[in-house]
């Protein structure tokens, strides 16, 4: 039985590829996945994983509300990095019919929209995995400001290899490995999610200030219950 406390003591001070390589190759072989939005910084982790093992599963949530640019960027990176196991997951068609028949739930109940389009599909996708990799960073601010590289979530290990990386480190990695940027970066976007809930960042805000702008919402619920509000199907 895997001891997450032991893993944290042994690897918790590592980051980037030095953290990923032993976890992918030795600790969780075949039982670890990278969850990627193929957003503005995603190429960094995707490149790191591709250098370690291109067969590592990459889980991509296609919410049905993404920018076309994000899907094209996904296809470009998968081909460029020769990723061999892209696993695309989508919301259940039955949920779309019953919860969001008009496609505008994001306006009236964005928490529930995120829940059935992202949280529930991801939970289905991660069945059978003991660990998953995320791209969250402390520089995102808010509830991510004290982020650790290793966390436990339910019974899985959550790995944040870039938790302590600065924006400068991310940019330097892009340049060092000649990685393409998300197409929307050139238009000023610093964080990209679903199209209806993504806007340009505010001048005095952080990188994620364009996500759910003007709403009491900063997270979709994948990493925590939605802003501390547990979701219920009856909501």
Q: Look at residue 153 and tell me if it is in a domain.
A: yes
Q: What is the pLDDT of residue 65?
A: 95
pLDDT at 212: 72
Band of the pLDDT at 229, cuts 50, 70, 90?
A: very low
pLDDT of residue 216: 74
- Asked, for residue 21, whether it belongs to a domain, the answer is yes
| Residues 84, 155: Cα–Cα separation, whole Å | 27
Domain extent for 34: 4-197
Displacement of CA 92 from its chain's centroid (Å): 20
Q: Is residue 98 part of a domain?
A: yes
Check: CB of residue 78 under 8 Å from CB of residue 60: no
Q: Are 103 and 71 in contact (CB under 8 A)?
A: no
- The number of folded domains in the chain is 1
The confidence band for 224, taking pLDDT boundaries of 50, 70 and 90, is low
Q: What is the pTM of this model?
A: 0.89
For 20-35, write each residue's pLDDT tens digit. Answer: 999 999 999 999 999 9
- pLDDT score for 225: 46
Q: What is the pLDDT of residue 131?
A: 95
232, pLDDT greater than 60: no
Give the CATH number, domain containing residue 35. 3.40.50.620
Residues 6+ apart with CB under 8 A from 229: 111
Catalytic pick among 114, 194, 197, 220: 220
Token code pair at residue 112: 């529930």
In angstroms, the CA 156 to CA 35 distance is 13
The pLDDT tens digits of the residues spanning 107-152 come to: 999 889 999 999 999 999 999 999 999 998 888 766 667 788 998 8
Lowest mean pLDDT among 94-98, 167-171, 202-206: 202-206
pLDDT-based confidence at residue 234 (cuts at 50, 70, 90): very low
**Cβ–Cβ < 8 Å for 226, 217:** yes
Per the domain annotation, does 217 fall within a domain?
A: no
Chain-centre distance for alpha carbon 32: 14
Reported as a single tens digit per residue, the pLDDT across 211-223 is 777 777 777 777 6
**Domain presence at residue 132:** yes
CA distance 234 to 222: 19
Judged by average pLDDT, the poorest of 75-89, 111-125, 171-185, 193-207 is: 193-207
Q: Mean pLDDT across the chain, nearest whole number?
A: 88
Q: What is the pLDDT of residue 235?
A: 37
Q: Is 114 a catalytic residue?
A: no
For residue 214, the model assigns a pLDDT of 73
Residue 24 lies in a domain: yes
């Amino acid at each position: 039985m895997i001891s997450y406390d032991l893993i944290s003591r042994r690897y918790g001070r590592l980051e980037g590829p030095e953290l990923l390589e032993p976890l992918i190759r030795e600790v969780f072989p075949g039982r670890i996945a990278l969850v990627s939005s193929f957003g503005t910084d995603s190429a960094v982790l995707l490149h790191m994983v591709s250098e370690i093992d291109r067969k590592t599963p990459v889980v991509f949530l296609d919410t049905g509300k993404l920018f076309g640019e994000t899907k094209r960027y996904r296809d470009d990176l998968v081909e460029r990095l020769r990723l061999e196991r892209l696993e695309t997951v989508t919301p259940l068609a039955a949920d779309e019919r019953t919860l969001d028949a008009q496609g505008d739930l994001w306006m009236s109940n964005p928490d529930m929209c995120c829940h059935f389009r992202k949280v529930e599909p991801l939970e289905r996708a991660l069945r059978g995995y003991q660990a998953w990799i995320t791209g969250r960073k402390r520089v995102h601010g808010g509830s991510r400001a004290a982020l650790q590289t290793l966390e436990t979530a339910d019974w899985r290990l959550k790995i944040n290899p870039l938790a302590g990386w600065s924006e400068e480190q991310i940019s330097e990695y892009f340049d060092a490995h000649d990685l393409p940027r998300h197409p929307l970066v050139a238009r000023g976007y610093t964080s990209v999610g679903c199209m209806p809930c993504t806007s340009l960042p505010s001048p005095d805000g952080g990188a994620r200030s364009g996500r759910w702008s003007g709403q009491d919402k900063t997270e979709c619920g994948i990493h925590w219950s939605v802003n501390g509000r547990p979701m219920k199907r009856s909501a």
